[in-house]
Structure 1
């Protein structure tokens, strides 16, 4: 149905009568905009210099509608305006904001005109779209003129040309996005009635609303478009934002009106207030982020699969390591006067087994760190113990390479509130690096200096050094220093990443320094300390030595080599083995075990279910359940604890730790859920 000319003539006359009102509103908006610095330096007469002619042309275009619409009528006036603003120092963004404010004022007066008029909705939409197209052409013409003047100035300043062109392109791109709202649906709802005032064409594309039906009202938007499961949350947040003012933003799902396809959208908007303080309008934008959301979910799923793969890989690698390490331990227990060749074999197996176990731990740690899953088991302890433990761990490798480790620590205890195991890992990784990146026969030093409220530990070597260009990225995951002589250095490139993260989690700092290639390296760890009175240090003499009595121990593992080798190691006790869950449950009823060492990944009935069933047996009331698994993540430990296990060891377990646990066990204590 063709549009009538009458309403447009009446609108043009109304706009002419409201010229003064539009000018006052526009001046107030421009003056109050903090982003328009140049406008604040102009007088009122300078600001409105071109306004009469521009306004006259606006009215002329409206009068000519709908038979003849040419939004380029303002070309000459727009060029003059752009040239004038350039002479006053305007930037592109400022020119756009000034003309955009003028458009808003004209559109507001237009809405006020139609509020008391009986014109059809299609006429109202056509009028608003006409003004939108007119101002779009005006903005681009004025900007083009300003850019031409900027180009002339850039061409005249050859020394600044590249920088100015780059800045101009960035500004022009920002303006293009703002002016055309590329990718965004724009809409406006009338405040008091919440009816739809207008929408741009992209809004119709996103929502699937036929353009012939006009813009959606606020109520129709929620009832007909928003996914039912998201509607109440959207309404709640919308009402809260309206009550408190400010910006509104929300991500939710919609079901397109034309094809009912579900999409994910993001809405940004702002409530506009009338002079009396009431809400006059809500102007917002809608962005379809379905593809982005799907891509992000795909990345999260890939990350979950990666974590699952790493956990399974670690489990599969740790399982065969357990009997290998046990076998090395058994060899060490057989004869003190074994041939040197046999002792060399035993020591090599034990050393390489520990090295592989540490590589697996580092790989799992960097994965857990990247997802924020690592947790500290804090207690107050003497940091010198962690340093001594780290030296002890790395001493076999140092002796193999004929390296000398010099340790200098304070004479008195230095207390820190931290995770002893994790801090031992920090110093062990640094010593491992020093050995790895030094030639045989190197000199390595660990020096600790205590201050009032901190301690500084420096691990230094005289090895291959670090080029200055690589110092900045040395602590990043999977970064490995290349040897200048081309020799390959073993490792995964994750040890230093673990060092930095663990130290930062303790409130400390880790730093690397070197004088360059061939000049060695220094790694400094700084940690906060505790006052000496903060805790009573444990008495080493109280640690258990030999077993208080011979215990009945049930070892459950489907890996026969692992179970039988562990039984040999625990030979001071009465040990029996079961190789699946059913056999373990049957044996437990007759054996009356004091302790059960239980593999979690059993075939058939898994270890967690076995633990739950064992806990239900009256014969096991006072028994201690110890989980032994290739899975060692915090969630794995939590699951074993929930199933009734008081301890959780990760394969390959240090036999001494398991022996100490059994030796310190007193029958009758396990039932209360506490474990030594």
Structure 2
């Protein structure tokens, strides 16, 4: 900005301050009449004027004291605020430039009017006033534009980030949908395969009974076995669908572990003894009750026990309920069954995965059900197994489960 002394411009500055309202209205008339400043028509008087009085006052201060540091700082702050405000009001950059240029015209015209009626303002002072006003408004315009562009870029970056996040979420959802579709197709293929096998054997049994009446009892036994296996398949699918679709509020209660332990032992003993297996159990004497959801804990235990019995042909099944570190308790089921090979251990908890021969009935959903129920009960699930040496499954639960929605991740 020019460093020319203000000299006799005190009268000009006083006149400009006195005419501030009149000059502001003249500027507003120009802006409202400019068809290129479209957004001005959407603003109120106060919204349009906003920082103009402050900028006007700073210009007068600069005319009085050229090069004043405080005035320059205030002018920059006002110009930046003006650029931010206009961007928020929807202004384009060209509209911002045009309205500030209209302000320049009004001030330069006012300076000329004063000079033409006051001989005490010399030609040099008038040129200095015009040059200073022009420089100040160029500075205001440039600062306002820079601030508006910077704010616009910041918003673009913000929106871009939001779009990238939304796109990432959409990609994840699309992947989830694709995986869900593939899972459903896998369900269809698996169930169709198992049902076809059941029906083929059932048909063979009927044909055997028709061709050889003497072998009718054998045929009926074979048919009954297929019916039982089909019922097992359907029951597992129904149970898993209930687990996945259970969005009710997870209720908690005081669970009598002694009573639950006795119930689990009694309900599993018949199935174990039917296969010639020994069922053994252990319950910590000091562990009598916990706060949890009794039904879901029972489902976890029964699925682990039935899975152990299913995949064990000789030896024993062991159920243990004991205290665990960190205010938790442990449910443990061990067997001497076929075990799980290292190659199959990564997928053992996935839907429709079975680390055993197809001659063992079931849909491969037992451990998937255990995983979902354990998650709902804030349980930590782990297992150890090796091919031919049996398996050990453990779930540790909190002694006191905090109530929450069962659909909460």
Say which structure is richer in helix. 2
Same fold per TM (> 0.5)? no
Higher relative contact order (Cα pairs below 8 Å, separated by 6+ residues): 2
The TM tier, using the shorter chain, reads 0.3 to 0.5
Q: Return the TM-score normalized by structure 2.
A: 0.44
Q: Return the TM-score normalized by structure 1.
A: 0.28
Structure 1 or 2, whichever has the larger Rg, is 2
